[in-house]
Structure 1
């Protein structure tokens, strides 16, 4: 799709020329660190010129803000087309949230007057970040949705700005709500960090007709084998590891000036290294893998947690004499003690697995649970019963066999 030319578009507030540049798809460009940094610096220059206030920009903090915002963007973006317009409002506020948390701006020689006459005098750093986020939002809405945003109706209320500054000092995530408020929207003040997807429309009821012909497809099993002896869970099925790896990859690619594509997030690390090489025209830096593993280790140590119902499911299996194994691929095998991070209390064993063949136990009734279609097929060929599971975001890959919505629906073969 050819980008909309924004040169004649009235922006919400004074905007840099980069945001108006023809042939630039702002929605895509803003997810590249180099463009984001340049656009932000140009925006600050415009605010400085209009206000007479000089700013200093810490580009390292700015890069940190971008990387965290980009990771959050990737992990929370909706898949349903009906949610994409509202997500622009949400992710613009999320950008403000990360900018204010990292505080890349400082003023040079400015002291706020006792009775400020404008928001920029009262809080120059906050004002400049709000202006940037509102202008990015306006550009995306114009290009992708044909909407023209000509005003930010609540930007000049000093009462609102006083509440805004005090609120983000106590609850940084409230910046998401305030950006929407400044844009004239009605935000969620209680849970600003949660993006609520639209309720699914009810589908027409269908009548299933059975055929007398021989069924050749996969036959769903209502329960697992009564003599079930072993269950292997991919790490991604019992924890939030998939989202954390995506965040780590986003962070590392950001160090090299790139944003990840959707296709890269579920591919082996080598795919990202190839991507960097193709984009830069030279070999991927030798330390890329080290940077990635360090990022994963740091993020896992801070954020790794079990999925809902995971502990109860594993504990019930263990109580009934079923051996539980957790398969870890090579990207995570060198991490610190995952068992300790997951706090499994000896209920399950961790195993470094490349293929299902490594876990095959002839004559033992075993089940493999995964959200990876290729892994399920491989496990099935090796004699496992297989069970697909939806991701924590509700996404289900294309799979024709038996699957469950969550671990709470695990089909135990015993009572």
Structure 2
């Protein structure tokens, strides 16, 4: 166990990998077709710049040529390649859109992945709890160390913040102000996480909250966090919601709904909002209308996920809601992810007993690739305030 922890700690806590000599990689030159592709992002294999890829096992090339981005991520998890500045590398790859240019047999593999996401309902009610079991229930010790003290697992608001704690509190309060919360109101939170927003709304705005989630671990923690507050937490899918509320809010959950369920989602929540109420939707978005998410993210992080495009989001809700306000602060997610990485890295000594080296590399790849996604502006973060079609209230936006 000691040897295992030491090897993991070296790979996670020393992202510069200064102890690895460049000569270690001299006999691992890539196929020319890959070198030419990487040149579009100004990335070299075994180069001397922080964002260059250092290959220790040429198996990575076959992985990329057969499975594309999935093979690339798995090869990193297996230790076949390294990078001093992984977020910088991913930013360059994303900006150059190399993920849209798979080579070899990977073209068919990637095409089949996205075709499956387009044609099948991967987010059906029978699959609803999979992401909770695979991602949110992996261990509260991990999230406790990585997140802020409120356990906010969504983008912070950094407009006037210079640390993760302040950015997450600013996000929570921004949501409350956009919802125009008043004491005594009833609020439905769809995807309540570990109870951070529910507790904040109840404590600081005097509202009653009904939170739902598909994660058993989140239910346990949310109930502990909200003990003594007018907050009820329930383990159910959004399709099972009953009742009406003054306000509805959903933060970081719409990414699990899927385009085949958008109408069901908005029609269900339209029945839950009172005629003069408001609904705030906080979601990651993208301009790429491919259905599904990157194959590596789908397999290892968020199974059955799908990021909306703005036209698809607005088009799906227009039969039930008017868009009152749209706010994009996607670049704030880059800062949030890097802060999570700093916390993860500094806490690894207390986590290493429960997670192995491959998990540590997987988690670094997850956080750094997502940071590159937002830094390159391929990813967006939208807060959309919606009002029922019959509402006659005048909405004034806040920032």
Say yes or no: TM over 0.5: no
TM-score (norm 1): 0.26
Higher relative CO (CA 8 A, sep ≥ 6), structure 1 or 2?
Answer: 2
TM-score (norm 2): 0.27
